[in-house]
Amino acid sequence: MPGVFCVKKHLIETGMAVLMLLCFYILSREAAETAGKLVNVSGNIKEEKVILVDAGHGGADSGMIGVDGLKEKGINLEISVKLKKVLEKRGYTILMTREEDKGLYEENTKNMKAQDLQNRIAMIKEYKPLLAVSIHQNSYSDPAVKGPQVFFFEDSEKGKRLALVIQEKMNQQLEIQRPRAAKGNRTYYLLKRSEGVINIVECGFLTNPDEAGLLQKDDYQQKVALAIADGIDEYLASEKNEKN
Ligand SMILES: [Zn+2]
């Protein structure tokens, strides 16, 4: 009965092949799950929830100088670190452009400022965060001028939406008496050259004595960080709703 034998053999072979495929499927799925877990446990980049926080200036670049010689770079870093902690507690993975008083340029470089900005822009390009916020402080010749202001790249619809909501949260939560409006811009190098959604958040004016005083205080810095984080949360929630 060679015919029957052949059919049987064929059935067995088909069965084995299906079984092997099944095993392969289960094993590869487990491997993928394990890899996913490892990424989370080790704190590596969980791609879908990465936010880049850029503390402006640093090192030889002090940024704006405010009342009593107050340097922008230090305030930027203090607020950025607080923002990182708030966002991490909310489940985001945070990339920082700097975590100490150091610029992103090589020593003895000719064009320190350009190299510094290019490296920040390169980080955004490499890691492709959901969005990036660059933390800065403002200054003006008239010491009466004050209040936070958020800047976005003029041609970025998403950048504008993020800026509007961060601006609104800051105006509300910091109880700003004469609130400013978020503003579009086409000339800021960081806004112009960065990929994806990015805002420059000017938290206040270091040339206004009252605001400069507040911006040096831990609890006010924390309020600033919370307002920015709330803005980010609300923006991302609205993005998600739009997708669904
Ligand atoms: Zn600045």
124 alpha carbon – ligand 1 mean position (Å) = 18
Q: What is the pLDDT of residues 79-133, one digit of tens each?
A: 999 999 999 999 999 999 999 999 999 988 889 999 999 999 999 999 999 999 9
186 alpha carbon – ligand 1 mean position (Å) = 17
Span 207-219, average pLDDT: 98
- Residue 39 has a pLDDT of 45
Q: How far is CA 214 from CA 19, 93, 120, in A?
A: 68, 28, 28
64 alpha carbon – ligand 1 mean position (Å) = 6
- Residue 242 has a pLDDT of 85
- Residue 70 has a pLDDT of 97
- Residue 241 has a pLDDT of 87
50 alpha carbon – ligand 1 mean position (Å) = 23
Fold of 47-243: Aminopeptidase (3.40.630)
93 alpha carbon – ligand 1 mean position (Å) = 24
Mean pLDDT of the chain: 89
- Residue 42 has a pLDDT of 43
Beta-strand runs (E) in 109-226: 131-138, 149-153, 183-185, 198-205
d(CA 14, CA 26): 18
What residue segments make up the domains of the chain, in order of their start?
1-43, 47-243
141 alpha carbon – ligand 1 mean position (Å) = 15
136 alpha carbon – ligand 1 mean position (Å) = 4
